[in-house]
Structure 1
Amino acid sequence: MDKMFGDYEMHPGSGVNPPYSPAYPVEWECALRTLEVMTRVDRRKTEALLADTPFELVNDRVAFRFMASPGHTLSLHNGRMFDLMVTVPVRYEGLFTQTHIYMYCSDPMGIAAGRELFGYTKKDCTYRFDETPNGAIEGWVNRRGGQLADFSFAPDPTAPVVRLVDGAEQPAGEIHVRRLPHPERLETAYADVVYRRTPLSYSAPVPGYAAMKLHPSRFDPLTALEPEILSAQFMVSDVYGGGFAVEDRRLLKRLIP
């Protein structure tokens, strides 16, 4: 059996020339190793980024999540995939959730799956994410030869832990506006509001201190956020996966028919 996608196969009717898109499995699994750098950003900046969405911003926090995914079944030969999620908490029609205002991924299969199915703001990147036995982390994110971010983390049990919102209840799932450009002119052909909630059980956060340097980029203006670091924490999940049987996947609204 071809194990290109781990234990997951194409659904009937999918393949090289599928009658439906996408031509890859819509189920997957991996482990997660996440460095979360929690920041504060002027709300006017994040509200401006959400101005063309129906989402209500919850607070002034922005999470920079540097995420290594060992054994990702969508990655080539089940290798390690990497994502940088820049995330804010939002509300929409009774949902307390989050959206990624910027997102970068190291694997083309992960980019396509995220953008086509769920409207993630994924762009391609290369990365380094190195861990040491004492729990320190160092790495960078680069997009097409331009440096986007350098980051490092040193664990410290006395450091504060600040999450995306205060309180025990954290935003659940993810929500985005999924857009497709019009083939004839500079406008959107259609836009949908898409929600997904994938079961995820993280370990307790390991607190520490992080350094993060963002680099100017014309097409990826992360530096314009001018984030103030509030805390940093490292978390792991041994089993993380998505699919129709385990996820809450919903097409909530068609914005442009």
Structure 2
Amino acid sequence: MYDPNQFFDFLGYGRGDQLYTCPDLRTLSVYCRGDQEQLARLFAPTPFTLTDDRFLVTIADFTNCSAGPYFDAGIVFPVRYGDHEGANYFFEWEDQSWSVALGRELWGYPKKFADISLTADDAGIRGAVSLRNEPIIDLAIRYDADADGAAWDGFRTFPHLQVRAVPQPNGPAFQSFDILSRDTSPNFLVKERRYGIGELSLGQSVALGDNKLEVSAVLGAEYVIGDYAITKQNGIPDVIASLV
């Protein structure tokens, strides 16, 4: 009898319960404030309710990942679904085809392919996301000994609340529509954190239709190095609702 699980070998990525680690994960994050009305329009097609007008733009260097090296970039918004509060990756990019497919197919992250980089010097870190020379995100931190994270105090980044929706292959609706909750934060060990002045520029493609994401203010930035892991206890998603 044919074992369907062997089809993962054909797809090129692992199962939803796979475990992996990434020591010395580098993450650059710029915190922003947006327009409340525009953000509400942005989330209108989703089942989530925004809980904050602040959002996070981030690039992470997973080149030490045991599952395979890649870079990740995303724009994250605090949201609520029913009694569940967390954060939603509304925009996301990665630089490996297998990691794009894994995140989208298994866990509902809206990943797209892009070229991503992080470069460092003594003054700070600069990150870039682009595709075929079209800029998508440019962000940076300039280290400042007087800076701190007070401007984004209380900003919630976990658990991730994502929609895993599978369209019908021969109909107008969805075959399944699940809300997933995923939290890797208990496994993350911070080894270094630096604050500074944030810089950010978003390209025209950072939009839903013609609704390009607006930045009302850049609140600041932080650069973090730490050890990351997905374990059986933390990182494998839970299905908290099924709408179909």
Q: Which TM-score applies when normalising by structure 2? A: 0.84
Q: What is aligned with 1:45?
A: 38
Aligned length: 236
> Percent sequence identity over matched residues?
24
1:62 aligns with 2:55: yes
Deviations 1:16-36 (A, max 9, x none): x34998852522211321111
Q: Matched residues in 1 for 2:74 and 2:5: separation?
A: 29
Q: What is aligned with 1:251?
A: 239
Secondary structure of 1:47's partner? Answer: helix
Secondary structure of 2:39's partner? Answer: helix
Runs of 4+ in 1 over 4 A off after TM superposition: 18-23, 218-223
Secondary structure of 1:114's partner? Answer: helix
Q: Matched residues in 1 for 2:190 and 2:48: separation?
A: 26
Task: Report the residue type matching 1:189 in the other structure.
Answer: Q
Alignment of structure 1 residues 85-164 onto 2, 5 Å: 85-132=74-121, 134=122, 136-162=124-150, 164=152
Aligned CA distance change for structure 1 residues 105 and 200 (closer, same or farther; 3 Å): same
How far the C-alpha of 1:59 sits from its partner, in A, is 0.9
RMSD, aligned α-carbons: 2.8
Q: What is aligned with 1:3?
A: none
Contact 2:207 2:213 in 1 (8 A): no
> Greater strand percent: which structure?
2
Deviations 1:110-155 (A, max 9, x none): 21221122111111111121122x2511231012442202222211
Deviations 1:78-134 (A, max 9, x none): x3x1111100111223322111110111122221221122111111111121122x2
Contact 2:162 2:180 in 1 (8 A): yes
Aligned CA distance change for structure 1 residues 222 and 35 (closer, same or farther; 3 Å): farther
Contact 2:30 2:140 in 1 (8 A): no
Task: Report the residue type matching 1:150 in the other structure.
Answer: D
Higher normalized contact order (CA 8 Å, seq sep 6+, divided by chain length): 2
Q: Which TM-score applies when normalising by structure 1? A: 0.80
1:193 aligns with 2:183: no
